[in-house]
Each structure stands twice: as structure tokens, then as C-alpha cells.
Chain A
Amino acid sequence: MIYSVAALAILITMGLALGRALLGPTVYDRILAVNMFGTKTVLLIAVFAFLSDRHDILDIALVYALINFISVVAVLKLVEQGNFHTAANSDNEENNK
């Protein structure tokens, strides 16, 4: 019962975040919404581990928390520089033009 309530609240929040990711005016709004969606996915996996009474699934939540952070930073780097292979302070302005 308590886990169903928690899963329902998390799913509503995920739906709202997904709406912002689809509507968002700038690309940063979309990245923000995807970040929130990923954090809520971690919580949903944790709640699902208790809901199905298999506590091993908590390891997947742990891994997903790490992947979420790395992917947000990687997408930010991609948006900022246009590629993955230039360093942060190089002259990528000319490469983009």
C-alpha cells in the first residue's frame, strides 16, 4: 500500500517532468527536465525494489544514479562545444563556425 502510493507520486512527477522536456523552449530546459526525470527514475527503482520485495534491485538504482550524473554532464559538454573531442579551453569557436 505505502509503496504503491510512493510509486504513484513519483510517476506523476515524472509525467510533469516529461511534459517540460517536450515543451521546453530552450535546450537547457530540456536537459534540466531530463535530469529531474533521471533522479525520479532512481527513486522509482528503489521503490520498485521494495514493492516486489527483491532488495537486489537497489544496486541498479545505485548504478543509475551514477549514470544519470555522467550523462547530464556529457550532454552539457556536447551542447556547449558541439563535439566531445575538444578540451574546454581550446579554440573551439573557430571549429564551430
Chain B
Amino acid sequence: MIVEMLSWFCIVSGGLLGITGGIGMHRFPDLFSRLHAVSITDTLCAALFLLGLALQSGLTLASVKLLVVFVFLLFTSPAASHALANAAWLGGLKPKLDSQQPDKESC
């Protein structure tokens, strides 16, 4: 019963985080802030979904497979985000800054 409720909590909050990241994809102004929204859905939302599914299945082979998927996502998602930001920076895309900010203080 408690495990069921924990699983519901994990999956519902993971879904809410995913939808929040999807809305952030549309409302953020440039690539580098959109990267932040995508990183949230890639790490915490995926972790919560996989944890909720693993709680449903208990200690079986399925939850071991879910753990392996989670470890792969944990390693590859920051690497892909870094490669994307690096490529965009080298490709000449600069972050949008607040124009009223004085230049010397915005290091």
C-alpha cells in the first residue's frame, strides 16, 4: 500500500516535471535557456518515472533493467547536452543577455 502510493507520487511528479519542461521548451527565449528545461526533463523526470516503475515491479529482473537504463541516461544525457551547447557556441550562437545590464559586471 505504501509502495503503491510512493509509486503514484513518483510517476505523477515525474509527469508534471516533464510537462513543465515541455512548456519551458516553448516559453524560453533562446537555445541556452531551453537547454536548461530539457536537462530537467532528461534527468529528474526520467529518474522519477523509472523509480516509479521499479517500485511497481519490486526486486525482479525488470527493475535491474530499469536501473541500467537509468545509469545510461545519467551518463549520456549530460554528455549530449554539453556537446550540443559546445557545438552551438562554436557555431556562433551566443546567449541572449539582458541589455540593461552594465558590461563590466556581467562577467
Contact = CB atoms under 8 A, between A and B. Distances in A.
A35 B41 CA distance: 11
Nearest to A35: B80
Determine chain B's interface SS by DSSP, over half rule. helix
Determine chain A's interface SS by DSSP, over half rule. helix
Interface residues of B, number: 49
B32 to A, nearest CB: 10
Interface of B: 7-8, 11-12, 14-16, 18-19, 21-23, 25-26, 31, 34-35, 38, 41-42, 45-46, 49-50, 52-53, 56-57, 60-62, 65-66, 68-69, 72-73, 76-77, 79-81, 83-84, 87-88, 90-91, 93
Interface of A: 2, 5-6, 8-10, 12-13, 15-17, 19-20, 26, 28-29, 31-33, 35-36, 39-40, 42-43, 46-47, 49-50, 55, 58-59, 61-62, 65-66, 68-69, 72-73, 76, 79-80
